Amino acid sequence: MNPFERHLQAVLHERRLQHRYRSRPTISSVQGPEMVVEGERYLNFCSNDYLGLASHPELRTAMVDAAQQWGVGSGASHLVCGHSDEHHQLERELAEFCGRERALVFSTGYMANLGAINALVGKGDAVLEDRLNHASLLDAGLLSGARFSRFQHNSLDSLRQQLEHASQKAAKSLVVVDGVFSMDGDLAPLPEQAALVAEHNAWLMVDDAHGFGCLGANGAGVLEHYGLTQRDVPVLMGTLGKAVGSFGAFVAGSDALIETLIQMARSYIYTTALPPAVAAATRQSLRTIKAEPWRREHLHRLIQRFRGGAQALGLQLMDSPTAIQPILIGRDELALHYSQTLRQRGFWVSAIRPPTVPEGSARLRVTLSAAHSDAQVDGLLQALAQVHAELGGSER
């Protein structure tokens, strides 16, 4: 074995010893409350398909019809010849849905965050981020060249200290937070953060990947939930592959913001546009979200049903009002054991371990969907009761 391969094998061996080796399950069914993994059928409680739209028949039809018209690929980047009418209409509809002047569609959420943050700040500036932000936000801040710092999770005092320090040295300061934190499921205190950021003449960017479609009276997300406007939060990012059920992401804000990103966001400029058929399916999803508010209503009822049942079992839930319902386990190997034992009972629930979450906070990340039934949630609670009785004495 040559030195390169020997090094790689040592890295992989260390991952296995830490109980942090990850494998990709091969799915042979559509996304939904039930799925088939390597020939076995499971109830699925780990998908981000929060509204149950990923396999919705109207989205499928919209995608197939658009593929007949537009073909499969977009052929080029948006600025060359890949920006179709479908993309353009989708951006207009996203802006209207969010109550913003304009929106810009990116190929992935990771690319949207990289593009936006690196277009807005650089050397001589400051970017301040919540410690529990998604990896794409942290990576974007580190790559921007701006002075990068992290404040304590959802702490206004910590953010204030960071802003006061940044205002003394930085030309511009950008504060970046998740609206809904992907591993904890809790909400950022956005009204208070927006006021604090404005007080220090800084800018606020919110990644609403896990709130868009689910929160707010019309499903427009965490900003609608709080009643915040474009003035309060100048930069809004949302993803289209979670509650919306399709693929891609967007940034929404003022006309000047979107024009700046078109000119300067490298992850937008230098990549092939989404297939127009995906944009068409996304447009149909937005119409469905507007027309079927029962999906959000049912989802929120399931959240309350699950939380009540889990608390009655003595499980340690986190402070989450969203579809993300983590059960704190503690040790990596025990979280894996919980997940594997649930799997033996026909329930697919992921074990989340460091570095995705802080050391000592490995957990089961239960996610709920509007496609789940009351009976399926009750079945998961029953299985959790059995597994907790078997393994609970070993916690932490």
Provide the pLDDT for residue 194.
98
Provide the pLDDT for residue 191.
98
| Mean pLDDT, rounded, of the chain | 96
Provide the pLDDT for residue 396.
46
Task: Give phi and psi for 23, each to the nearest 5.
Answer: -125, 150
Domains of the chain (ranges; CATH) run 21-50+293-394 (3.90.1150.10), 57-291 (3.40.640.10)
Give the burial class of 132: count Cβ atoms within 10 A of its Cβ; 0-12 exposed, 13-18 middle, 19 or more buried: buried
Provide the pLDDT for residue 391.
86
Neighbour tally for 4: CB within 10 Å: 8
Neighbour tally for 198: CB within 10 Å: 13
Reported pTM: 0.95
Q: Which amino acid is at 212?
A: F
pLDDT (tens digit, 9 = 90+) per residue, 282-326?
999 999 999 999 999 999 999 999 999 999 999 999 999 999 999
pLDDT (tens digit, 9 = 90+) per residue, 103-150?
999 999 999 999 999 999 999 999 999 999 999 999 999 999 999 999
Residues of the chain with pLDDT under 50: 396
Assigned token pair, 189: 């205190």
